[in-house]
Every structure is written in C-alpha cells, then in structure tokens.
C-alpha cells in the first residue's frame, strides 16, 4: 500500500482542519463579536416565539421601552436597555453555537469540488457528466487520480482510496467490491487501480451534504428531553407571571403599588432565563462535539439517547482487542520437536498473506533462524490457498522421488479430519493436539493445527508426522479494563460480542473486564440480545459495519455504523463514524452523558440563581411599607432602584458568562447517578445561590453612583 501523494505539511493542515473544524472545538471570545449581527437578527418576534421563556423577556422589553418613552426616567431607560441586552445575550448563545457549525460547514464545503463523473451507459460506453447530474443506481468509472463523484458502493474492482478530505486521516484505505468494505464517499480520491461505483444517493443528499446541513443546524430538531424541559420552563414562567400579576393588587392594598417597570423587572429575574437562554446552545454544542470527533448523528435524539444508554454491545475485534492475531508460540507433539514444527508452519504460511500467516513466518524466522522469504525451490511448490469450506491452507511439496509432502495449517478439527482422511490419523496425536488447543483457548488464544503427510501410501510412523499446534494471541488493548470499570460505575453494562468459541470468549472477557459475553454470535443472536435488553427498559448502543449488522443497528437505540462499512449498515444506524473506529462508541456515550449533565447542571444553577435575585428585589420593592424586610436585605444594597437594576444587570451578564460552559460542556467524570446528583447540587446548586449574591453586590457598588439610582 503506497503512501498518499501529498506533501507532509499539506496533509497535516488537512487533518488539522478536519479534526479541529477550523477551531470550532475551542471557544474564542472573538466569537461573541463575530456572532453579534446574527444575534441582533434573531430579535425578530417570529424567531423569539420558539423559546417561550425568552419570548416573555422580549415582550417585557417592549413593554418597558414603551413605558420609558411615555414616562421617561433614568431608572426606566436603564432597565429597558438591560432587558434588551438579556434578549440579545440569549440570542448570542445560540448564534455562537450556530456560528461554530457554519465554520465546520465551510470546511466541509471546501472538500467538495465540481467533479466530472464518467457514467457508464447501458452499452458499456462512458459519458462525462457533472456529478450533480448523477441519479440513484447510476454506475460511474473512477480511475487512479480521479475523485469519486458521489456516495456509492463498489460493484467492480479494488482500489486504495484517500479519504483525508472526509476523515482527516492521511493514510489510504482499501475499498473493494463484494464485501463489507465496499462503501465509498463522494469527494474522496482513488489512488490506484480502477473501480466501478454504483451511486446510492440523490443529488444534495450525499454524506457531505448531510453533514453540512447537520452542523449548520438546519436539520436540528429538539430532543424529547429538551422538549420536556422547555415545557417545564414554560410552566414555571406562567406560574411566575401569575404570581407577579397577583402581586400588584396586594401591593396596592398595602399602599405600595409598583410601577410596570419594576413588575417586569421582577418577572424577568424570577423566571428561569439563564437555562432558557442556553438550552438551544447546549443541544447544538452536543452535536458539535460529536462532529469534532468525526461522528455524524442523524439527529439530536441519537446524541441524547447515547447519554441514557445502559447497555453497550462491543465487538471484541478492534474494540476490546487489537484484532490482529499474531503467532506467539509453537506447541510440538512429543517426538516431533519445535524446530520441525517451525519448518512445517513456515512452509504452510509462505503464501499466506493474512496478518496471521505473516506473523507465523516472522515467528519462525526470529525464533528458529529460518528464512523469512521462500527460496527458489520452495517457490516452485504448489501452494493451497485458504478456503472457507476446508478452513485450511497449506502447501504440497514434490520430492525428487516423486513423493508428495503435504502440509496443512488451519482449524484444529479440519486439520485432524484431513489427516484421518489421508489415512494418517492417530488417536494419541488427536487427543494431544485437542488438549493443547483447549489450553490455548482457555488463555484467550486461538489454536491452529499444523500437520503433514510425508508421502501418500507410505508406511511411516504417522504419529510423528502430525506436527503440532500454533498459538495465536489477540492482545487486549491496554487500559480497556479501566474504561469498563468507569462505565460500570456509571451504571452501564458492557457485553462483548464475538464469533470466537465460548472458551476463548470467556478468557478475553475475564481479561478485559466486560460484564457479559455473547460468543459465536450470529446476526440473529445480536438482534435477540438487543430486544431482550430493551424489554427490560434498557437503552442499547452498538457498532457495526456489515450488511448482516443492519437489523441490529436499526433495532439499537444508538447504532454507530462504520464509514468503511456497507451502505445498508450506514442507513440502518443513527450515527456514522467517519474514522471507522469501533472504540469510538464509548466516547459517543460519554459525549451524550456530558450533554445531559451540562443541561442538568445549568438548569440547577438557573433555578438556584433565581433564589438570590428574589432576596435582592422583593425586599427592595416593599422596604418602605414593611421595614421588617430590611432583615432580608442581606447584601445591604443602596436603594430599591439600585437593587432592582443590579439584579437585572446580573441576570443579563450571567448568560454571557455561561456561554463558554454551555458550548464546552460541564466536565464529565464517570460516576454513579447518586454521586453525580450530589456533585451538581453542591457545585451548581450552591454556586447558583452564592454567585448572584456576590455578583449583585459588586454591581450595586457601581450603579449606586448613577444619578437617579443611588
């Protein structure tokens, strides 16, 4: 596989642009100024009405502005100005989040070019058409150096493809027809060979188009939890609105009738404006964090479901283990000797291009001094390729006397049955190899048998011609057990899915620390397991890349399809990982939980925040009539006007102060729900009470010197 033909610096810049999304991942104060025009455009009442809490603030701002015009005063005008600031700052939070999305979309648009497609006609001729003219099921020819014009599946050929424009990864990948790695993405470049691609998307619905629409927020819909929280905030707003409305008759009866400006200020400070202003930005930022990790979610619902997941189905290969099984030991039969077994294993693996076959040759070369390459004489031997039917591969070597030495390497049962069929079986050898294979499996390794027949029809002692067993080991990724322990503290159950036999599967499961294992798994087994978990009220997440994974991906609450997989898998899942990294599923769950934690933490802060503003405004409103309320004026604010104005100013500024936290997300730490609740109440509940007291007091120290206020 040859390297990508791109200068190193350019490759690094492309990767930085794709992985960092033009700096979208980090909050910059300059983004506030850049997003200000968009925030002002959102003052349109048709936009504001989508957010009930902020629409009430918008209406209050209009009412106070009219009142200030009719009965002008410094106090009224300052309240009006800061109420409008509150609305603008709320719009600013959403505008910054959307602006980050637009920056990502611009980076994605730069990956698209005006590609000319070479479309196959029914007669086999080729015509050149714009990529935008392609339709479903059109077939296009793409050769080395050309750009793939649209999303599709390879129906003929094999090629190396540069996907850095999409994934940011400069190393090329192999895509071929007829397997689980046949899917290709429009905008990527073929580096070698020639392929025929069947287009699977309509114009404007390609993978890149969907990503652009998603990160720009054009397709973002509120999630169920977000809708429920919006309804709760609207209900709280109505309750406080009724409370303020009924307060005026009581105030009039007490002889302390309040102005419309003061009543509106009280309402705005009591309703949950903080979380109301940041709610949309939190949802957009959650999607943003996924895209930064090269994961495309079809909706915010999928991200939210990831935060509520309680069962993770994880493939063993590539997720829990590295997936490249390597030969680590040879186990010769008594009387054969490891050197002889190494000779047999090497010969049978010289033509085996799989990672396992190459590792066997490397082990024999490094451990026994054998040549890593076939000699001229060995190259003339007749090599037998691996077959899924026989589950063996090997070599037939013809000697000078015409006798044939046949060597086979493969599944233990298959090799032993082959020896029996050749008349070379031996019960003692079979029992010994089966015992060694069982021991290898119990350690989590994969056993292969290696046997040979030293000339058909000869009457040699065949016990010594069996060979022995080869041990392959699939190494568990370091630190994976600790990750699973963290998930367990969060109440998430992990299930390892593998096609290995139960003994091997249980050994890997014990070493990695997963909670359960499904061995010799079939597509039907995966689907049944997901349904079983869901019937118990659990949300399930899984990864997959093949067509046979599509039913399970569709059934799972969070189905992460690999970008390298088939179109069927990507259409069945509700997320696609551009990097095709199965381990990413754990990170996806953590992002979902971080979004939920951020939303809960800021809601807690917002509600607690209102309590402090209550102590600032209500005593100021009725202090003249009820001097006893002075005991509640714990901040010793200068005047009723300065107290009310300070609370309104703080109410606006706290939104701006929390925008970076809403976009970045509350720091997520794996812990149980009880511990997380205690932490949020302590940090954001107590903080929501203390911060306003300090903030309002400091603001009052400034506004008390304004004429007409102090």
Catalytic annotation present for 417: no
Query: Which residues neighbour 319 within 8 Å (Cβ) at sequence distance 6 or greater?
Result: 543, 582, 583, 585
CA angle 201, 206, 210 (to 5 degrees): 130
Q: Give dist(CA 387, CA 273) in Å, integer.
A: 67
Q: DSSP per residue over 271-303, as a string?
A: S-HHHHHHHHHHHHHHHHHHHHTTEEES-HHHH
Examine the pLDDT at 288 and tell me if it is beyond 80: no
Q: What pLDDT does 458 receive? A: 43
Of the listed ranges 67-81, 316-330, 372-386, 528-542, the one predicted with least confidence:
316-330
> Alpha carbon of 576 to those of 67, 220, 544, 567, 582: distances in Å?
54, 17, 10, 11, 11
Q: What pLDDT does 282 receive? A: 85
Q: What pLDDT does 110 receive? A: 59
Question: In the structure, what pLDDT confidence band is assigned to residue 10 with cuts at 50, 70 and 90?
Answer: very low
Examine the pLDDT at 522 and tell me if it is beyond 90: no
Residues 69-83: what's their mean pLDDT? 93
Q: Could you report the per-residue pLDDT of 467-487, keeping only the tens digit for each?
A: 889 998 877 788 888 888 888
Q: Could you report the per-residue pLDDT of 585-604, keeping only the tens digit for each?
A: 888 888 888 888 898 899 99
Question: In the structure, what pLDDT confidence band is assigned to residue 17 with cuts at 50, 70 and 90?
Answer: very low
Binding residues are: 352, 356, 386-393, 409, 545, 549
Pull the structure tokens for residue 481: 């057990």
Q: What pLDDT does 81 receive? A: 95
Question: In the structure, what pLDDT confidence band is assigned to residue 652 with cuts at 50, 70 and 90?
Answer: very high
Q: Whole-number mean pLDDT of the chain?
A: 81
Q: What pLDDT does 33 receive? A: 82
Of the listed ranges 119-133, 365-379, 391-405, the one predicted with least confidence:
391-405
Q: CA 675, 676, 681, 687: dihedral to nearest 10 degrees?
A: 120
- Contacts for 561-567 with beta carbons within 8 Å, 24 or more apart? 563/163, 563/166, 563/167, 563/183, 563/185, 564/173, 564/175, 564/180, 564/181, 564/183, 565/180, 565/181, 565/183, 566/153, 566/180, 566/182, 566/183, 567/151, 567/152, 567/153, 567/183, 567/200
Examine the pLDDT at 615 and tell me if it is beyond 70: yes
b/e per residue 269-302 (b: at least 16 CB within 10 A) = bbbbbbbbbbbbbbbbbbbbbbbbbbbbbbbbbb
Is the overall model pTM greater than 0.85, yes or no?
no
Chain centroid to Cα 661, Å, comes to: 20
Q: What pLDDT does 86 receive? A: 94
Q: What pLDDT does 105 receive? A: 63
Nearest CA to 617 among 534, 692, 530, 551? 692
Binding residues for Mg(2+) are: 545, 549
- Per annotation, catalytic residue among 162, 315, 500, 610: 315
CA angle 430, 435, 439 (to 5 degrees): 150
Higher pLDDT, 55 or 189: 55
- Strand order of the β-sheet with 116-120 is 126-130, 116-120, 139-143, 194-199, 152-156, 183-184
Backbone angles phi, psi at 675, to 5 degrees: -65, -40
Chain centroid to Cα 172, Å, comes to: 22
Examine the pLDDT at 168 and tell me if it is beyond 60: no
Q: What pLDDT does 83 receive? A: 95
Examine the pLDDT at 219 and tell me if it is beyond 50: no
DSSP 451: E
Query: Which residues neighbour 115 within 8 Å (Cβ) at sequence distance 6 or greater?
Result: 130, 131, 147, 148, 149, 186, 187
Q: Give dist(CA 613, CA 599) in Å, integer.
A: 21
Q: Give dist(CA 696, CA 218) in Å, integer.
A: 38
Range ranked top by mean pLDDT from 41-50, 243-252, 444-453: 41-50
Residues 415-425: what's their mean pLDDT? 81
Q: What pLDDT does 15 receive? A: 38
Backbone angles phi, psi at 118, to 5 degrees: -105, 95
Q: Could you report the per-residue pLDDT of 171-207, keeping only the tens digit for each?
A: 677 888 876 677 888 878 888 888 999 998 877 777 6
Share of the chain above pLDDT 70, in %: 86
Range ranked top by mean pLDDT from 23-32, 645-654, 657-666: 645-654
Q: What pLDDT does 251 receive? A: 67
Examine the pLDDT at 215 and tell me if it is beyond 70: no
Q: Could you report the per-residue pLDDT of 378-411, keeping only the tens digit for each?
A: 888 888 887 767 788 899 888 777 778 889 998 8
Query: Which residues neighbour 428 within 8 Å (Cβ) at sequence distance 6 or greater?
Result: 463
CB 202 within 8 A of CB 137: no
CA angle 665, 615, 236 (to 5 degrees): 55
Share of the chain above pLDDT 90, in %: 14
Q: What pLDDT does 79 receive? A: 94
Pull the structure tokens for residue 473: 């080991």
Q: Are strands 311-315 and 139-143 parallel, antiparallel or unpaired?
A: unpaired
Residues 572-589: what's their mean pLDDT? 82
Question: In the structure, what pLDDT confidence band is assigned to residue 113 with cuts at 50, 70 and 90?
Answer: low
**Backbone angle region of 323, left / alpha / beta, with phi > 0 → left and psi within -120 to 50 → alpha:** left
Of the listed ranges 30-34, 198-202, 346-350, 564-568, the one predicted with least confidence:
564-568
């Amino acid at each position: 596989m040859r390297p990508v033909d791109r200068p190193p610096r350019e490759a690094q810049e492309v990767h930085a642009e794709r992985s960092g999304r033009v700096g979208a991942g980090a909050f910059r104060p300059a983004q506030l100024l850049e997003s200000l025009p968009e925030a002002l455009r959102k003052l349109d009442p048709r936009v504001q009405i989508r957010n009930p809490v902020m629409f009430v603030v918008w209406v209050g701002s209009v009412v106070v502005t009219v009142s200030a015009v009719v009965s002008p005063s410094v106090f009224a005008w300052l309240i009006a100005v800061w109420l409008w600031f509150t609305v603008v700052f709320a719009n600013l939070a959403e505008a910054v989040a959307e602006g980050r999305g637009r920056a990502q979309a611009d980076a994605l648009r730069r990956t698209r070019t005006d590609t000319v497609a070479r479309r196959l006609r029914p007669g086999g001729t080729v015509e050149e058409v714009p990529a935008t003219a392609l339709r479903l099921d059109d077939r296009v020819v793409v050769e080395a150096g050309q750009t793939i014009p649209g999303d599709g599946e390879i129906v003929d050929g094999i090629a190396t493809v540069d996907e850095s424009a999409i994934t940011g990864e400069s190393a090329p990948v192999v895509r071929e027809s007829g397997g689980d790695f046949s899917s290709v993405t429009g905008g990527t470049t073929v580096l070698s060979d020639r392929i025929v691609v069947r287009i699977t998307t309509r114009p404007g619905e390609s993978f890149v188009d969907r990503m652009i629409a998603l990160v720009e927020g054009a397709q973002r819909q509120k999630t169920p939890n977000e809708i429920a929280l919006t309804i709760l905030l609207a209900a709280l707003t109505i309750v406080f609105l009724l409370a303020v409305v009924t307060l005026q008759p009581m105030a009039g009866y007490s002889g302390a009738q309040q102005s419309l400006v003061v009543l509106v200020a009280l309402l705005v400070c009591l309703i949950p404006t903080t979380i109301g202003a940041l709610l949309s930005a939190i949802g957009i930022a959650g999607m943003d964090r996924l895209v930064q990790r090269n994961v495309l979610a079809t909706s915010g619902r999928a991200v939210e479901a990831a935060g509520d997941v309680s069962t993770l189905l994880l493939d063993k290969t590539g997720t829990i283990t590295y997936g490249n099984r390597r030969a680590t030991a040879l186990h010769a039969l008594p009387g054969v000797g490891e050197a002889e077994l190494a000779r047999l294993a090497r010969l049978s693996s010289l033509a085996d291009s799989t990672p396992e076959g190459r590792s066997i040759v490397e082990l024999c070369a490094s451990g026994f001094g054998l040549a890593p390459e076939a000699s001229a004489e060995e190259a003339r031997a007749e090599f037998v390729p691996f077959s899924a039917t026989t589950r063996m591969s090997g070599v037939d070597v013809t000697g000078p006397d015409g006798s044939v030495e046949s060597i086979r390497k493969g599944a233990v049962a298959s090799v032993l049955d082959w020896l029996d069929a050749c008349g070379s079986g031996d019960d003692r050898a079979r029992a010994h190899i089966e015992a060694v294979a069982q021991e290898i499996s119990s350690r989590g390794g994969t056993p292969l048998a290696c046997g040979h027949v030293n000339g058909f029809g000869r009457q040699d002692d065949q016990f010594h011609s069996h060979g022995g067993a080869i041990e392959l080991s699939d190494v568990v990724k370091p630190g994976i057990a600790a990750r699973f322990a963290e998930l367990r503290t969060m109440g998430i159950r992990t299930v390892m899915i593998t096609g290995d036999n139960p003994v091997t599967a249980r050994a890997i499961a014990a070493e990695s620390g997963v909670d359960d294992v499904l061995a010799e798994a079939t597509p039907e087994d995966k689907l049944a397991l997901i349904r079983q978990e869901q019937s118990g009220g659990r949300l399930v997440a899984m990864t997959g890349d093949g067509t046979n994974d599509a039913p399970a991906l569709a059934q799972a609450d969070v189905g992460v399809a690999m970008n390298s997989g088939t179109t069927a898998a990507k259409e069945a899942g509700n997320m696609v990982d551009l990097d095709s990294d199965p381990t990413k599923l754990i990170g996806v769950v953590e992002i979902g939980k971080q979004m939920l934690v951020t939303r809960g933490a800021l809601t807690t802060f917002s509600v607690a925040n209102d309590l402090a503003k209550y102590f600032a405004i209500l005593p100021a409103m009725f202090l003249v009539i009820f001097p006893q309320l002075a005991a509640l004026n714990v901040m010793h604010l200068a005047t009723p006007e300065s107290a009310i104005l300070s609370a309104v100013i703080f109410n606006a500024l706290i939104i701006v102060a929390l925008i970076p936290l809403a976009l970045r997300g509350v720091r997520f730490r794996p812990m149980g729900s009880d511990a997380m609740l205690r932490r949020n109440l302590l940090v954001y509940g107590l903080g929501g009470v203390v911060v306003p007291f300090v903030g309002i007091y400091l603001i009052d120290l400034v506004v008390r010197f304004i004429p007409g206020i102090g």
